[in-house]
Amino acid sequence: MWKDIMVFTELRDGRIHEITYELLNKGREMADKIGWNLSAIYFGEEQTLCEELIYHGADQVYRISDVNFRKFIPQVQTNCLKGVILREKPSVVLFGATRIGRTLASRLAASLRTGLTADCIGLDIDNEGNLIQTRPAFTGNILATILTKTRPQMCTVRYRVFERARRDTSRVGEVIDVDYLSPSSVGMEILERKPLEEVNLPDARIIVSGGRGFRRKEDLKMLKELAELLGGEVGASRPLIDEGWIGREHQVGFSGNTVKPDLYMAFGISGSPQHLAGMRDSKIIVAVNKDPTAPISRFADYYIVADLYEILPRLISKLRELKKT
């Protein structure tokens, strides 16, 4: 009874988040492989966004346009998602590994009494419809392959690990409006919403990262200053996160963020396999390290054998001068 693949559509400021297009691309690939349909579930009213989901690979779009969904209330959306899934019985349900995706997927999996694999970096499907899920395990030291015995098979997928679906305006599909009677009370009231200042490494075009080569937490101020001068974001390798010198949201690597910026600058990072897996697809990699044989040297477009404490202050000083001219 369980078949087909469903993708949760995440919205940011009224626009479809890029992770949705990545999930549609991978979902389309798997659906074609096994002869299933690919659907998207969308909380909103805009017909044009439904069409975009179809242009990017969806065969059906389940649209829930209840006005109560204009605000993100996990309890209500989880209940609605559960109803649609139990009725349509998709064998695979995909969410982005974002704050919203993780919040809904975990609640939904518990409600459906099914398994959930978090932070996947690889997906495939076999001829029997089993979703083959790959994710880092043991702090990124190994890759685990996971199968879910229960249905639906649910997972969250990291941003930037799959290619974006191509837009094909010749595709046609069906928009199905879902009737949902939202509860009069959900046991909570939203009094105020404040924007959360968050680090957006996956979307950053320039990332300046630091690693074990830094001697003191206070010295990370140089990274922040360089990032501000370049209009980029600050990243870090895992040792700095483990030391508590910088927040986990800055981590690049298997157990952090996968990034593909135009420019990635690494200061004092030797280049463990876990870190390299998260940034080696960057367009240009510049690395500074005292060790001429550090693993990152094999991936860097420009490799400077030097102490970061010699290079970083001089680079900041030169950029300041250029900013003044």
- 115 and 217 in one domain? no
- Classify residue 162: in a domain, yes or no: yes
Do 104 and 252 belong to one domain? Answer: no
Tell me: do 158 and 212 sit in the same domain. Answer: no
For residue 300, give its domain range. 201-324
Residue 118 and residue 41 in one domain: yes
Residues 238 and 155 in one domain: no
Assess whether 119 and 218 both reside in one domain.
Answer: no
* CATH number where 148 lies: 3.40.50.620
Q: Domain for residue 290, yes or no? A: yes
- List, for residues 93-140, the tens digit of each pLDDT value: 999 999 899 999 999 999 999 999 999 999 999 999 999 999 987 766
20 Cβ neighbours under 8 A, 6+ residues apart: 7, 8, 9, 10, 40, 53, 96
**Residue 17, domain member (yes or no):** yes
pLDDT tens digit sequence for 186-235? 667 777 777 655 778 988 999 999 999 999 999 999 999 999 999 999 99
Same domain as 205, residue 172 = no
Number of compact structural domains in the chain: 2
Same domain, 31 and 107: yes
pLDDT of 149 over the 90 cut: yes
Domain-located, residue 195: no
19 and 167 co-located in one domain: yes
- Identify whether residues 143 and 215 lie together within a single domain: no
pTM of the model: 0.82
